[in-house]
Amino acid sequence: VPIIYNSHNCELSMAKQLYPSDKEVIDIVRKMEKQAIDKATAITYCSQKDFEEMQDYYGADIKGEYIPNGCISMPKPNNNKRLKSKDILFVGSGHPPNVIAARYIAEMAKNFPEFNFLIAGSASYAINKKNITDNLMILGEVKDEELDKLFKESFAFFNPMTKGSGTHLKMMKALSYGVPIISSTIGARGFSRKTIKSAILIADSTKEFSDAIKKLQDKESYLQYCEGSYAMSANFDWEKIKNDYVSKQI
């Protein structure tokens, strides 16, 4: 039976980020990842950077196919209505890099009282109650219908990841709703320059976040990023990814 290793991260890079001083864990992850690569008839990856790191760790002769993460295409949103919103959304599971990002947002909210920062997903449970300000909404795990509403009505999507690898499904989802995205450099990892230029404002500091917000408060710029975000989502539609995958005939 052929084995396909569907890689979503360079796991060794992730282990080194999360457990930098734990040699035993890093060695275990290295052995497991190498075993998966050695036994695989074919390897797929969702980020060119991650695959290059895998080649650095396990050999330049490793072959793979790029299969991106994706999203479900959504109806085109009412961007003029969204422009009036003051809600900035983050969605994340309890995965450690998401928890770090959620805590960062809790601190960031203190500097921007004119906006509401909404954190959905189990990452929000890790925020200390002492750090919850009036403009920080801890939503926890929400139903699909509520999440749909949050993406439709939020002014922007914020993804301040400082750790992680691969690409982020939540970013694909934000694109499918045509939400302007403010992201750290790591949060935008795996996206092309064209996608970043069209849909994502990079912010790795409070000052850069403030500059991004000011840019989005200009109506013309805001609508341009909305259109760019929605247009870029077509590249990550699951149906397109499926057809492209089949046509590769791995």
pLDDT, position 216: 95
pLDDT, position 25: 96
pLDDT, position 249: 58
pLDDT, position 16: 92
* 154 alpha-carbon distance from chain centroid: 16
Q: Which residues of the chain have pLDDT under 50?
A: 250
CA angle 205, 207, 212 (to 5 degrees): 95
Output the CA–CA distances (angstroms, integers) from residue 103 to 99, 124, 175, 180, in the order listed. Answer: 6, 8, 23, 22
pLDDT, position 131: 77
**Predicted TM-score (pTM) of this structure:** 0.86
